[in-house]
């Protein structure tokens, strides 16, 4: 899974929370001495037990003392012995270290602490209590500061793995939803995310279901629009053909002023015929039925031919088209007819809107990309340009900028849509932007063969 910003945020939030909690625990443990507190508490217990054993010994004798010692050991799990002077009056085996501690306590009159937890406490009447605390509990072993560092490292590693899996479980479906939305925006209207989310029952699954319902609705609307355009273009051809026949018959029987009206009707009929043809082409491209052959095409030669034809027509309206062909071949793979129409639509659109007395500049360059190289057909006019908010809509069918709505310009609003689809079928991209010094620039990027 590709790492995303939200994944990093969730993972680091969980993991840092665990690290901070561990750091607080470690700081508390390292700034305190749990063993000293434990031994101090045990020392108070032994002092009280020693006084009790002395009373039992003095009032009931040695057998009662032995019985009381066993009861204390059974209750506290601590080993405890009573000395009178240097003589052991309790029952049991005392290791040498215990004997030494007891003797030192008698001589010094102060408590003595030895290895392995042994204690010797001088008590009243010349008595000394020797004791060893019980083994520490599991909790104390876990909280032992000498071992807390290693345990914290293991805890952070395990916690990091758990946080990674948790963050991934939250972010992975969002990543799938993002990829699906990008595919849908790129024109793959059949994209759905429900199957990829599995059996999730949370809010992310609900978001995926909402996305699928939205995608189904939009796909149905787009299909209905394409079907409507296809049906309209098909149904209008027959009455248009009959209209052309009627015009021709009327022209034979007319003269004078009537011929001008018939000429105007014929122009509008031709315009409508062109529009219907472009509609048919657009629906054919959008339907997915169009196939792109893998023929090798010299893009420079193709652009040169288009520029010559456009320049010939542009001279009639005091405009021109300029192009300097490259010296070497620039080959692409695809359909020469589709690419011709794609480039020609852009060039003719520039000729239509460039100012009179100016030239449309056509260029062809090579641009390196991460995956290879693209050939860029760059067409610039010297017209008024378009508003920035309209740049992304220029390639939509029937879209017109407010200043270009006059039918006298001759545009139908479909040519650039055909360009975008033709370029898309070749794996390229069409784009437009305003030149800072004035005019509109349109670029067609095509993968180099």
Instruction: Record the tokens describing residue 194, joined without a space.
Output: 């429900």
Compute the half-sphere exposure of residue 120: CA atoms within 13 Å on the CB side of its CA: 29
Burial of 267-276, coded b for 16+ CB within 10 Å and e otherwise, reads eebeebbebb
Instruction: Give 46: exposed, middle or buried? Use CB within 10 Å, 0-12, 13-18, 19+.
Output: buried
Label the pairing between strands 440-447 and 119-122. unpaired
- Residues 419 and 348: beta-carbon distance below 8 Å: no
At residue 70, φ and ψ (nearest 5 deg) are -65, -35
Q: Which of 143, 153, 156 is nearest to 18 (CA)?
A: 156
234 is catalytic: yes
Query: Hey, which residues does 443 pair with through a beta bridge?
Result: 378, 431
Q: CB under 8 Å to 74, separation ≥6 — which residues?
A: none
- Cα angle for residues 104, 109, 112 (degrees, 5° grid): 50
- Among candidates 50, 46, 79, which has minimal Cα distance to 65? 50
Catalytic entry in 41, 52, 234, 426: 234
- Contact (CB, 8 A) for 276 and 238: no
Active-site residue list? 234
């Amino acid at each position: 899974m590709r790492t995303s910003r939200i994944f990093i945020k969730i993972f680091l939030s969980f993991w840092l929370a665990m690290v901070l909690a561990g750091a607080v625990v470690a700081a508390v443990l390292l700034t305190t001495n749990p063993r000293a507190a434990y031994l101090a508490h045990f020392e108070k217990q032994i002092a009280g037990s020693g006084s009790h054993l002395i009373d039992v010994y003095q009032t009931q004798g040695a057998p009662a003392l032995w019985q009381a010692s066993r009861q204390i050991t059974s209750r506290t799990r601590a080993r405890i012995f009573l000395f009178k002077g240097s003589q052991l009056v309790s029952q049991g085996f005392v290791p040498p270290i215990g004997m030494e501690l007891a003797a030192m306590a008698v001589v010094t009159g102060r408590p003595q602490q030895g290895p392995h937890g042994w204690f010797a406490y001088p008590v009243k009447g010349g008595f000394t209590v020797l004791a060893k605390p019980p083994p520490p509990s599991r909790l104390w072993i876990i909280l032992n500061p000498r071992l807390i560092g290693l345990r914290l490292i293991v805890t952070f590693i395990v916690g990091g793995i758990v946080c990674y899996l948790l963050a991934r479980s939250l972010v992975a479906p969002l990543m799938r939803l993002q990829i699906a939305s990008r595919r849908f925006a790129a024109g793959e209207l059949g994209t759905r995310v429900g199957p990829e989310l599995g059996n999730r029952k949370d809010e992310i699954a609900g978001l995926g279901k909402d996305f699928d319902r939205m995608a189904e609705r939009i796909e149905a609307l787009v299909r209905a629009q394409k079907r409507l355009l296809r049906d309209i273009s098909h149904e209008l051809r027959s009455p248009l053909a009959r209209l052309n026949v009627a015009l021709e018959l009327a022209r034979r029987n007319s003269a004078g002023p009537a011929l001008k009206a018939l000429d105007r009707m014929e122009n509008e009929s031709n315009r409508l015929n062109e529009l219907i043809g472009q509609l048919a082409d657009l629906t054919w491209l959008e339907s997915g039925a169009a196939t792109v052959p893998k023929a090798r095409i010299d893009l420079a030669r193709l652009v040169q031919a288009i520029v010559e034809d456009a320049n010939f027509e542009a001279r009639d309206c005091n405009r021109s088209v300029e192009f300097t062909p490259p010296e070497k071949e620039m080959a692409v793979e695809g359909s020469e007819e589709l690419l011709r129409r794609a480039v020609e639509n852009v060039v003719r659109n520039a000729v239509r809107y460039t100012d009179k007395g100016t030239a449309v500049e056509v260029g062809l360059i090579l641009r390196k990309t991460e995956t290879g190289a693209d050939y860029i057909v760059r067409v610039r006019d010297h017209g008024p340009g378009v508003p920035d908010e309209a740049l992304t809509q220029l390639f939509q069918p029937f879209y017109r900028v407010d200043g270009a709505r006059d039918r006298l310009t001759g545009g139908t609003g479909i040519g650039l849509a055909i360009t975008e689809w033709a370029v898309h079928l070749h794996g390229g991209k069409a784009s437009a932007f305003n030149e800072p010094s004035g005019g509109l620039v349109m670029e067609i990027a095509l993968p180099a063969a």
